[in-house]
Amino acid sequence: MSKSSFLIQPNPDTPGLSQPVEGVNETGMPVTLPVVTEKPITLFLNQQEIVTTMSLGDWVAELAVGYFLNQNMLKRNDEITGIEFDDDLGVVIVRTAHETDFEAKMKRKIRTSGCAEGTAYGDMMERFDEIKLNKNACFKASWLIELSKAINTAPSLYLSAGAIHGCVLCQQDRPLVYMEDIGRHNAVDKIAGWMFLNKATPHDKVFYTTGRLTTEMVIKTVQMQIPVLVSRSGFTAAAVDLAREAGLTLIGRAKGKRFIALSGIGRIVFDSADAADVIESPSHQRAVQRDER
């Protein structure tokens, strides 16, 4: 297995994730465009309905488990006894050995800055100050070349259809798990759920996102105990403050060997890297230009 190979990566040809839609372009000529799907998925924890989120509808078990973990509704030592999904109803139920009532949490629901309707709870921060990220983890600047090459050239819905976010779990210069969804919060939760279900250790991992670095992205990365968060997009001031508080390495505007780090700089190894080695497919360049408009 090569360093650049994925354990999981998007397949834009998967039935149900997009559909062709006919229209016209700026000259009035007919065009057919792949358009991503949106499906309501209702998440249950035991007998309690928690939230309905708009999603691609794939990796629903990972989405549900990751959501509950990142909302502090599931703990790392909780035992999951079963996960059920009804595709017709759009319902996924996560069952645990011990039931808990979350009515108080539901009353404290607030909306985040996610592109789709994302939610976080007031007590989402209750463990934030207690989490200690791996101080001995390092991130070599040269790793961005291999990461950019693998992620930017991988077939994805982002490249074929747009209107979507991607998140990638990485180890050193190798991307491991690449998840997409219409909201970046869902893509993050899918990876969090995959890590929990596959008992993946977070302390030597890097989290890469195509979206901007907001407080939600920082909180969830810290919740997952991943010490390094990277994005090709920019930052919000509040996200930088939270990253510094948590000791998270926060890297934005990443393209090839170029990046800006605003937190956790002590983990970064500034080794030499040749930017000429970076490969970006034409479709990726068009997608980036489309997002930046």
3-class SS letters over 195-260: HHHCCCCCCCCEEEECCCECHHHHHHHHHCCCCEEEECCCECHHHHHHHHHHCCEEEEEEECCEEE
Q: Are 151 and 288 in contact (CB under 8 A)?
A: no
Q: What are the start and end residues of each CATH 3.40.140.10 domain in the chain?
A: 139-292
Average pLDDT score over residue span 1-7:
65
Number of helices and strands in the chain (H, E): 8, 16
Closest CA to 156 of 64, 56, 285, 284: 284
The tokens describing 57, both together, are: 């509808």
CA within 13 Å, CB half, 10: 29
Residue with the larger pLDDT of the pair 49 and 272: 49
pLDDT in tens, 18-38: 999 999 999 999 999 899 999
Nearest to 121 by CA among 108, 131, 102: 108
Mean local confidence (pLDDT), 132-152: 93
Q: For 82-116, what is each residue's pLDDT tens digit?
A: 999 999 999 999 999 986 556 445 544 544 444 54
What class does CATH assign to 139-292?
alpha beta
Query: For residue 278, what pLDDT band results from cuts at 50, 70 and 90?
Result: very low
Mean model confidence pLDDT for the chain: 85
Radius of gyration of the chain (CA): 19
Summarised one tens digit per residue, pLDDT across range 164-202 is 899 999 999 999 999 999 988 999 999 999 999 999 999
What is the model's pTM?
0.84
Give the pLDDT confidence score for residue 123 in this predicted structure. 53
Which one has a higher pLDDT value, 163 or 157?
157
Within the chain, which residue ranges are assigned CATH 3.10.20.10?
Answer: 39-125
What distance in Å separates the CA atoms of residue 268 and residue 140, rounded to the nearest whole number? 6
What confidence category does residue 124 fall into, taking pLDDT thresholds of 50, 70 and 90?
Answer: low
Q: Are 112 and 239 in contact (CB under 8 A)?
A: no
- Angstrom CA distances, 192 to 38, 197, 201, stand at 21, 9, 11
What pLDDT is attached to residue 77?
A: 87
Assess whether pLDDT exceeds 50 at residue 1: no
> What's the fold here for domain 39-125?
Ubiquitin-like (UB roll) (3.10.20)
